[in-house]
Structure 1
Amino acid sequence: MMHYSEQEWMKYVKNELAKDVREEFEHHLYSCDQCLDTYLLAVEAEEALLPKISNEVDFTDLVMTQITKTKVEKHKAEEKKKRFYHSSIFHYSIAAAMTILLMTTGVFQSITQYAENVQSPSFQGKNPSMTEGLVNKTFAWMDTFSMNMKEDK
């Protein structure tokens, strides 16, 4: 595996590399622990050259406020881009229009007539179910058995 030198990592930390080279470095960091250690050393060396933050709490609050503003602006921009056919009222309107159309053309009425035909006894099979046949045969056998018992007495 190829490793990058400390000078190359210093260029990366100082943002002196092209965008595609920076992406290669970033992908390399995911798989190489040795280069990760070298990168952390370069960050620590560069950290000493950065200016000190005098009031860290105010700085943190400022950053968080900017993040919140950015999120709100992004959310507003997304709402403006939202198409009319993505709204719930559009879907409810289409459903209501389709219901009225189906009702006026008589589709629902024909469906209910079909359901009545399916539920009618003439449409249902005339053969009893297997369980019902078994119960009927059992009762018939019990009746003949009890009749035989009465005749024997």
Structure 2
Amino acid sequence: MKHYSYDEWLQYVKEEISEQERENYERHLYTCDQCLDAYLQAVTANESSLPILSNEGNFTDLVMVEVSKQKQESAAPNPNKKPIYQQAIFHYLLAAAATILLMLTGAFQSLATYANSIESPQKVQEKKPSVTEGVIDKTFAWMDSLENKEANKK
């Protein structure tokens, strides 16, 4: 993991880096305690250049009002906010239509048949005799025929 130096964090605090770099720095802060400490030191060192709040209590109230406005805006349903293909109902309808289509075409039936054939034990196929067994059987048959010929001669 790459760590950023104190000087790099100081540039970040003074907003002397590009927007893309700022995003990388911010992402890194979520995962690195060492860099978070360096960032906090840079903020403390640059504290004199930050704006001074004249009425801290009023500032907190204003922030809380803005937060509540944001919550109300996000809680209010806005159907025009998302296109139809990004809404959950569209996905449910699409899944239902695909299920009905697959049922009507018999895809599920063939899939079930295939699964049953895999799960059930294979039918015992007729055992083909090996070459050795064939030779032995023919030898015994030949010997039996010889014995029968000898028996017939007597």
Is TM (by shorter chain) over 0.5?
no
- TM-score of the two chains, using structure 1 as the length reference: 0.44
